[in-house]
A and B are shown apart, each in its own frame.
Chain A
């Protein structure tokens, strides 16, 4: 963090010329700039990014939320042209909708040392209804050239004042100057939350304001008296926060990042309560406890959890005489998975309700997993819902109702905790779908209290491969292979094996290993999720040795050798997220061709990542005409901090090299 602050100071002093950020006051300097001096790779840069969000009182509507936007963007090259097209999404619900007004936009170009502007006209502004809840306004700027500066401003008026959009401070291109203002009347109390690597400190102040009401009064019974107009005034204060940032670096996507938005600098204002004059306090949310309470109290959550009538008879029949808790969990979980199918929608709230979902046999995430929870409770188990933020929703760093977008179920038994998600066909107890593996969830107990619960699996997903091969003297192989997979690796195997046509699956397998010919292919426990999935087959593969003169060179893992290091980039800012811990074990027996003996055998080797994050073991032995190879590689943590990136990269490099080491055989 210190580094960043230093960098900010350093860079502030670099901006030499003073700028006018008033709308339309574009300077020649801005138009002449050839590249961003702080990031020459930037295709475009926000020269100025302004947002002010505040409340306005309107006699007909009461308080509405108003947001003013003003952006000035410099385009350095053709790749930056994409920033000349903008999209503004507005929300609508019921009869209420957000409105975008007052769009003004210009493109500026320097032509013969003269600034020329082109106004955005109506024919380049397009409105579209995206869905029941979203409208979209898109516009694209005229006369864009390399070097253009574009500028636009507009206003969004929203009746949904309890939902203030996140102030996002970091984008795909750098920002030279950013100003943001949030102002709320004293009747609204907001909580302020920061996220990301940037140092963001608002300057707070109080500003006084007043509302003028016009009143109409007419004296009763005296028709001769004209209507009287009077005004009354209410004074109130606004609390105002101002952000002023300069030279914000671009945020670039990296590979194997869980969700880049987790690292994007932003500020979120969350309404915690409102208190209007002469009215009682209305709470929204302030802490995780409050968030949980709000969610739990919602008709589409807590109440749904209490309903049992709709499944009672079926579950009674299902459980019959079984009293073993583990058996009961299994029966209910499997019953529900086969009975109600997921419609693909994420939600922590039910949509049509559990009862309807049960009858229709289709439901969203909440309908299925709340139903699961109440069935488990009905069966006398200590089951509770767990709120989850999926990987694409990001990590909920501060308490908001939107922080969680998904719900699963948890049963606490004396032996420990069992997490369940009945939306996925191949998920099993404590093997949750990949989308849900995202830090911690929040369990809500019957009392309404809540606690954090780790979603990453503790048990390693194992992949155990046993291969027996006969190497022929022309370098061809025939052999057999048995692979046993557990937990998440079994889940993804099942997804691909059971959801594809068998012939196609075999063709994919054969073509994956280039030229292998597969026979006697058998999969065991494909649908029995309680057991590891086991795949066995025989194979024939040509040209697996380099034969030079009287020597043969082989790579002892043959087609199973890892050849490509996934970590290629020099530097990495974000953690490496594997999702779950893994163990891969290979036991390989190679029978040598007649007349050949081992000339050189690689040495045994073990590698370890720091802090017990992972290890690799390689043992090879020669016994007569047989070579035995055992490789064990383990990653113990689902997520590895970027601090270990260099170590991780080196670890991968070394174990890949080891796997690629050759055994030399020689004609005896």
Chain B
């Protein structure tokens, strides 16, 4: 099917409508299957990208969406961004009622025009026009039409047949018209589950898909961005803010990033160079030098988000960051890189997708992307070191769940290369609790414990030593929310940044922890590390199981019983071993009136088919049940 054919089809379709008097947008026309789990249904979504030259891109969008209920309002997406390099030529919308009858027209000037700045961002020069419509009744339909033009062609729109949870799509299409001498690369991802129609001819690429059912989010599954079908496009020749460029693989793209974005921003004042050289003059080892410079950057700078230009890809000059003492991720990373260079250490700028979900760059498809920048430090005969330059408190080489274990683009003067960031293994994500718990005859407890956290466990709480007393009180009361009436006597932290380990010393008491009924006292033996979370149950699990990160927990608690009571019976040792992890719990007698509670819990990271989800959930249920183990004490006669 060529493009002309489609056009004539559309025309034919339109005439048919007039003749038959049926309203195409009527809600009754939506197939039943598409309404399941859907808050809104995309009736049609057609994007046409016109790349008739490398320095101009015109994008025409027509999107018809039927909103079924209140939650569906967020899927309207009737908005366009613009900035100094792009503008909105046309934007309008028509609202239809459930019978498909037009009820309201919205013109360009009725769209709200706002600055596209989020709370964390100091400044962004991009703006947004969006539709602010109050529905009178559900369902209703919005037909949104827009046309934008941009001088930057480095970022061709992607074809996303489905772009949200609780949303289904009746039909959508994507057309890329381009100057036939250009070379367009295409990458199709996760398209197995949909019925994709593709046409290609000279200067034209056309994709279409139909009837995609809504999916709903499920706990412990792969991130939405990693499972939805998407088709990425890139032109080997493009313009970036008025400057032409060429790149067809990661190496060339990296070269371009280096030449165009990084090469001219690494200047530093002589005074700073002197200071830094002086700082490391007694160090012989590169890692030790880098560690000092990283600390220097952390002490000198702070993170401020400023977005200028399309996507804001170019870092501030290193000399500006040096003068101002702040920058965004690009500026701070580039600054650290420039400082390291002055002492002869080569470090590389790395583009990455940040966030808990590990979103990767595709090894075989070069494309400008990512939302964050970190620093890569290659070390001879060793694993690379990665530096997060926006944090004033992160230890040297600690990435945490923000940027761990994913493919990133590492840029050097030699070109670009895909590398994988550090993965945190089970043994690294370790938490060890050693403690002693005294119980008195009223059931009150008095606890002294030391909690040592490493790896991701460290990542969860290394900022605790910055908390005020009041916030700490709140933190512990939330962390041990199964203990009521906690009163904290002492907290002390030792944050060892060198070995990346946090040690918390805590002393607290709580009234009525053990429950007295009659002659008995009922005691939950796991005082400090009781799991209460059970993964959600799904009547019909659809998505496969993903455990992003594993960990290991070891507890050793000495429990001193009240003098007037004795243990009725000693619970048996418990050992569970599954493909998701293991659990071991033992209680031993430790002299006349004392017990030793030992627990070891391991969760393994990994991927499993959806059928395994209920077993995974059962494993957690089992852990929760075992953590809730109570022993019965009885009054001595």
Q: What residues make up the interface of A, taking CB atoms closer than 8 Å to B?
A: 41, 77-79, 81, 84-85, 107, 118, 123-124, 126, 128-131, 138, 140, 142-145, 252, 341-344, 360-362, 499-501, 503-504, 507, 510-511, 514-515, 543, 546, 548-549, 551, 553, 563-565, 568-569, 599-600, 602, 653, 656-657, 660-664
Contacts and interface: CB of A to CB of B under 8 A. Distances in A.
Interface string B118-137: 00001100000000001111
A361 to B, nearest CB: 4
Given A128-B123, A130-B115, A504-B216, A85 B304 contact: yes
A41 B520 contact: no
A41 B470 contact: yes
Contact of A510 (B114, B306, B477, B537): B537
B331 to A, nearest CB: 12
A128 B522 CA distance: 62
Interface in B289-308: 299-300, 302, 304, 306
A436 B304 CA distance: 38
B69 interface: yes
Contacts of B114: 130-131
B91 to A, nearest CB: 18
A656 B536 contact: no
A496 to B, nearest CB: 12
Contact of B70 (A142, A360, A499): A499
A276 to B, nearest CB: 39
A213 to B, nearest CB: 42
B482 interface: yes
A565 B123 contact: no
Interface string B133-177: 011110000000000000000000000000000000000000000
A568 B474 contact: yes
Contacts, number: 136
A142 B319 CA distance: 13
14 contacts: A78-B466, A85-B304, A128-B115, A142-B326, A344-B134, A507-B538, A546-B628, A548-B630, A549-B569, A553-B517, A563-B484, A657-B512, A661-B515, A661-B517
B323 A142 contact: yes
Chain B, interface size: which category? 35 or more
Contacts of A600: 517-518, 520
A507 B515 contact: no
Contacts of B512: 657
Given A145-B300, A341-B134, A511-B537, A553 B522 contact: yes
A362 B134 contact: yes
Contacts of A503: 37, 539
B37 A501 contact: yes
Contacts of A118: 323-325
A546 B123 contact: no
A656 B484 CA distance: 9
A569 B632 CA distance: 32
Contact of A499 (B71, B320, B522, B539): B71
Contacts of B522: 546, 553, 662
Given A140-B122, A144-B326, A515 B517 contact: no
Contacts of B9: none
A542 B236 CA distance: 61
Nearest to A510: B537
A659 to B, nearest CB: 11
A563 B123 contact: no
Interface of B: 37, 39, 69-71, 104, 114-115, 117, 122-123, 134-137, 216, 299-300, 302, 304, 306, 320, 323-326, 392-393, 466, 468-470, 473-474, 477, 481-482, 484-486, 512, 515, 517-518, 520, 522, 534, 536-539, 568-569, 621, 624-625, 628, 630-632
A129 B470 CA distance: 38
Nearest to A664: B517
A118 B520 CA distance: 70
A564 B484 contact: yes
A664 B518 contact: yes
Binding site secondary structure of chain A:
mixed
Contacts of B518: 599-600, 664
Contacts of A515: 534, 537, 621
Nearest to B304: A140
Contacts of B115: 128-130
A548 B568 contact: yes
Contact of A568 (B70, B477, B537): B477
A128 B481 contact: no
Contact of A507 (B136, B320, B473, B539): B539
B48 to A, nearest CB: 31
A661 B539 CA distance: 34
B389 to A, nearest CB: 15
B325 A144 contact: yes
B515 A662 contact: yes
Nearest to A361: B136
Nearest to B533: A514
Given A81-B302, A118-B325, 20 more contacts: A41-B470, A85-B122, A129-B115, A142-B324, A142-B325, A144-B302, A361-B136, A499-B70, A503-B539, A504-B216, A514-B534, A514-B624, A548-B569, A549-B632, A553-B517, A565-B485, A568-B473, A600-B518, A653-B484, A664-B518
Contacts of B69: 499, 501
B609 to A, nearest CB: 21
Contacts of A126: 122-123, 306
Nearest to B320: A123
A342 B473 contact: no
Nearest to A42: B468
Given A126-B122, A343-B134, A41 B485 contact: no
Closest 6 CB pairs of A and B: A126-B123, A143-B325, A343-B134, A600-B518, A361-B136, A142-B324
Contact of B520 (A499, A510, A563, A664): A664
Contacts of A500: 71
A499 B37 CA distance: 13
A78 B537 contact: no
A287 B129 CA distance: 42
Contacts of A511: 536-537
A664 B134 CA distance: 57
B632 A548 contact: yes
A124 B324 contact: yes
A67 B633 CA distance: 71
A158 to B, nearest CB: 22
Nearest to B571: A548
Contacts of A140: 122, 304, 326
A88 to B, nearest CB: 13
Given A144-B326, A564-B484, A664-B517, A553 B123 contact: no
Contacts of B632: 548-549, 551, 553
A657 B621 CA distance: 25
Contacts of A553: 515, 517, 522, 630, 632
A602 to B, nearest CB: 7
A531 B37 CA distance: 30
B543 to A, nearest CB: 14
Contacts of A563: 481-482, 484
A39 to B, nearest CB: 10
Contact of B536 (A342, A343, A507, A664): A507
Contacts of A564: 481, 484
Nearest to B123: A126
Nearest to B536: A511
B231 to A, nearest CB: 30
Contacts of A129: 115
A503 B537 CA distance: 12
Given A514-B534, A553-B522, A662-B522, A602 B517 contact: yes
Most-contacted residue by chain A among B70, B134, B304, B520 (CB, 10 A):
B134
Nearest to B166: A501
A78 B134 contact: no
A662 B304 contact: no
Contacts of A569: 470, 473-474
Contacts of A664: 517-518, 520
Contacts of B469: 41
